[in-house]
Each structure stands twice: as C-alpha cells, then as structure tokens.
C-alpha cells in the first residue's frame, strides 16, 4: 500500500508519531494533540515502527466490502434496466426490480451502478446552463412583456398583477399597469397606453400564456391566433413566445427588482389600491429609468407612429368573433341567444356569419361588413354550465369573483327546529295498577267461563 492511498488524517498521525519516535514529543502530549487515548497512541506506535506510515492505515482499506453485491447481481440488474427500464429513475427502477423480478438492491447502489454505466445522469450532470443572449441593438426592436402577481400593497390591499413592458436593448421600463389579473382586456388596456406614449414596436416577447399563444392548433380559434395576437397583427407588430422564463430574463429580473423597490416606495407613499398605484407609476418609471437604464448599442428608435384614429384603435383592441345566424335571425353568444332586429340588411343574413365586438368598456356590438346591426337579447341560457377551465394566473381573480357572488346572495333562512317525534318508544316500565292487553284478555275469558258455570 503506497502513500498515495493514505488519508489526510493518517498523514497527520504519521507526523506526530515520527516526532514521538524521535523523542521530540512525549506519548501523552501526542495523545492530546491527536485527541486519542494513550493506549491507542501506543498501539499506533507499534504499527508505525513495524510498517512505517502505511502501517497505521485501516487494515480493510482497499479490500472488497463484505456487504457488496456480487458482480452477477450487478450485471443482472443493469441488463434489466437496459432492456426494460431504460427511462426509469433509480428509485422507480429499484421498486420494479423488487416487485417484478425479486431482485433486492439498495436504491443508492443501483443509482451508482446506473451512473457508472451511463444509464443515469447525476444532479450535477443534469444541470442546464442557459447561455446569455445579446441585447438587441435598437430601442423598440424587442419589448419583453410579462405579468407579475404579488402582494404589491402588502397588507394594505388585495393581491393583484403588475403588467410590465421592458425594452430589451436598454432595460427601460416602457409601460406598467396594475390589473386584477392577466387577461386579454387588461393587456389591451396596457397596450393602448404603450402605443399612445411610444408608438408601435417591432415585436413583443412573451411567455406561452394562452393570451399570446393557442396551444391546440386544431381548436376553433380562427387561424390559430389569439385575440391579442390578432390585434397585434392588425397593428403590424410581431409576437414571439419564449420557451423558458430564462429566455426573457430582462423582464423577469425587472419583476424581482420591482417586488423589492416598488413595494417599499408605495409603502412610503401610503398607496393601498390599484387606482392610486397606477397614478404613482409614471413618476416611478421615470426615476427608475434615470437610475438603471442603459444606452442602446446603436442610436435610433425603431418605434413607428400609430397613425390610427381612436375609433379604429378601439375596434382593434376588442374581443372579436364570428357567429352563425340561424333562420330565425338569432345566434348564440356566451350562453345567451341574441336576436337581430328585422331590417333590409338582416333579412339576407340567415346562413351568414356576423361579427361580434366586445369592447373593454362593456359595450357589445354586432356588425356585418362593418355595418352595425340592431339586436337584442332574446333569452338567457339557464342551464348550469360545467366548471370553466381557469389558468393558474387567473385563479385569484376568479376566486375573488366567486366570493363576491356568494356574499351578494341573500342569507338563507334558519331551519326550523325539528318537532319531537310522536312515535311510541317502549321504556320497559309498567304503570302500577295497569294491566297489559294479555292480562285483560285472560281476565275477561275467566269471567265468561265463570258465568257459564265452568270450573276454570
């Protein structure tokens, strides 16, 4: 056994023992330094004098463990993993080896075997490194957008979502808005403010939220475009969806900074609701950009002017759908049946599609080739619908709405106390002097027999 296999502790012991052998240190002092008993130091001295430094190492070092599984068991387990459990993790594969093959192996032993054989990657080997992406060169070339749900007003108000627009080239905060949750209409409102202040950027960079991307291309979603994507297409703005949160790291880091600085700034300003928070944001954005924004690599702003009248912009930033008109001039919309008023135009519409517009201010319009059509709600669907599919980012708003509906319901009347039941329940007790039905029947029979002169 060479010095290469010696541990650090053994080398330190060898240094102390050599000093004891040379007479530079007593056995008692050496035992104190090594934190061993005098008897243990004497035993080490005997092994050190006979075998030198390698002699003080553990005698079992380098030997095969008595608990080590045989090589045949190792090969059998690895063959099963390669042929059947290729994509199983060590824990799951270990369970199946016991259940289906009666092969009992410790989980950690199987894990090490799979790592050595290249069938499993350790945690360090599975670690992924996200390469940094260079910034865009111009302002307005790429705008990262995201919503951050947080207790922005701490305990002074309800949780809400902050929509954040960040320029990729300069890390400037371009637009922010407090909203109840991430929804299409909340992004429409934030987008309208962005367009009026900066103009139209080249592209927006977002996550894969259903507001920006249709997950199922075969679903009834027009040409596979969401309402927000349709609005951006009409405005000449591209929408790009990131595959991971790290890809849009500018806005993610901005959210983390805002959850620290903005929360405390609003605490100092005494702001506790979304209306006051939205009024506070422009000044905060200007101060933040003055402190932390950086210059773009190339001069020039790629924002284009909007050049749209307000009415046209309102028609774009709304929820638009096509509905089929039946023979009775009616169509379905959100569990309601809408009837078109009979006019010169609507008489030709059965079998055609009309366009419905739900505007952010609550107005609802029906149009055919841009012509507004008079309509009214014929009836409402009174059926109880199935539970709606709610995404995690809108769960808080939906629960708040449900609670509001439940609180608005009239209180239920208290249930009247139940009257005591009149059903006879035998107690087993007999009233003194009262005879049962059988006793009375026997007494009457005896009386009849006595009257007939019979000897009972």
pLDDT tens per residue, range 227-237:
999 999 999 99
pLDDT per residue over 297-342, tens digit each? 899 899 999 989 999 999 999 999 999 999 989 999 888 889 999 8
Tokens of 172: 């400037």
pLDDT at 350: 92
pLDDT per residue over 57-108, tens digit each? 777 777 777 778 888 889 999 999 999 998 888 999 999 999 999 888 899 9
3 — pLDDT class (breaks 50, 70, 90): very low
Rounded to an integer, what distance in angstroms lies between the CA atom of residue 398 and that of residue 106? 48
Angle at CA 428, nearest 5°, toward 426 and 434?
Answer: 95
Burial 331-341 (b: 16+ CB within 10 A, else e): bebeeeebbbe
Where is pLDDT greater, at 401 or 344? 344
Is the full-model pTM beyond 0.75? no
Q: What is the average per-residue pLDDT within 239-263?
A: 88
Q: What is the average per-residue pLDDT within 392-400?
A: 63
407 — pLDDT class (breaks 50, 70, 90): confident
130 — pLDDT class (breaks 50, 70, 90): low
pLDDT at 245: 76
Domain residue extents for the chain: 3-56, 71-126, 143-292, 318-380
Residue position matching structure tokens 């309208």:
192
372 Cβ contact partners less than 8 Å away, ≥ 6 residues apart: 365, 366
Query: Which homologous superfamily is 143-292 in?
Result: Ribonuclease H-like superfamily/Ribonuclease H (3.30.420.10)
pLDDT at 357: 92
Nearest to 326 by CA among 302, 354, 299, 304: 354
């Amino acid at each position: 056994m060479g010095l290469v296999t010696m541990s650090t502790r053994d080398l330190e012991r060898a240094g102390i023992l050599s000093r004891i052998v040379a007479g530079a240190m007593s056995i008692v002092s050496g035992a104190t330094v090594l934190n061993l008993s005098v008897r243990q130091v004497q035993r080490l001295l005997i092994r050190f004098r006979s075998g030198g430094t390698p002699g003080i190492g553990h005698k079992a070092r380098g030997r095969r463990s008595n608990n080590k599984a045989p090589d045949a068991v190792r090969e059998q387990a690895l063959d099963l993993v390669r042929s059947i459990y290729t994509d199983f993790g060590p824990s799951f594969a270990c369970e199946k080896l016991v259940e289906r093959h009666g092969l009992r192996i410790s989980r950690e032993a199987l894990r090490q075997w799979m790592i050595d054989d290249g069938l499993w990657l350790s945690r360090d080997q599975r670690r992924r490194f996200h390469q940094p992406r260079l910034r865009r060169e111009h302002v307005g070339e790429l705008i990262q957008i995201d919503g951050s749900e947080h207790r922005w007003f701490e305990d002074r108000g309800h949780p809400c979502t902050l929509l954040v627009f960040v320029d990729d080239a300069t890390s400037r905060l371009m637009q922010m808005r407090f909203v109840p949750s991430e929804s299409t209409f909340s992004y429409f409102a934030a987008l309208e403010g962005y367009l009026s202040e900066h103009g139209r950027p080249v592209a927006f960079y977002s996550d894969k939220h259903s507001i920006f991307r249709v997950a199922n291309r075969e679903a009834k979603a027009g040409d596979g475009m969401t309402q927000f994507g349709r609005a951006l297409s009409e405005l000449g703005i591209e929408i790009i969806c990131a595959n991971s949160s790290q890809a849009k790291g500018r806005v993610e880091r901005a959210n983390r900074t805002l959850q620290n600085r903005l929360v405390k700034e609003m605490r100092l300003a005494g702001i506790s609701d979304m209306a006051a928070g939205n009024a506070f944001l422009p000044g905060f954005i200007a101060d933040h950009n003055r402190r932390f924004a950086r210059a773009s690599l190339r001069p020039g702003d790629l924002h284009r002017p909007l050049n749209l009248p307000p009415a046209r912009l309102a028609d774009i930033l709304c929820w638009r759908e096509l509905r089929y008109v039946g023979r009775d001039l009616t169509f379905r919309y959100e569990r309601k049946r809408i009837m078109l008023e009979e006019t010169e135009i609507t008489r030709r519409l059965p079998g055609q599609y009309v366009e419905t517009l739900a505007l952010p201010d609550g107005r609802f319009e029906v149009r055919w080739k841009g012509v507004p059509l008079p309509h009214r709600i014929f009836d409402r669907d009174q059926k109880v619908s199935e539970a709606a599919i709610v995404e995690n980012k809108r769960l808080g708003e939906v629960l708040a709405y449900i609670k509001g509906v439940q609180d608005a319901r009239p209180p239920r009347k208290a249930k009247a106390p139940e009257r005591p039941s009149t059903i006879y329940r035998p107690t087993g007790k007999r009233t003194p002097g009262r005879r049962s039905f059988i006793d009375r029947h026997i007494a009457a029979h005896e009386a009849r027999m006595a009257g007939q002169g019979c000897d009972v």
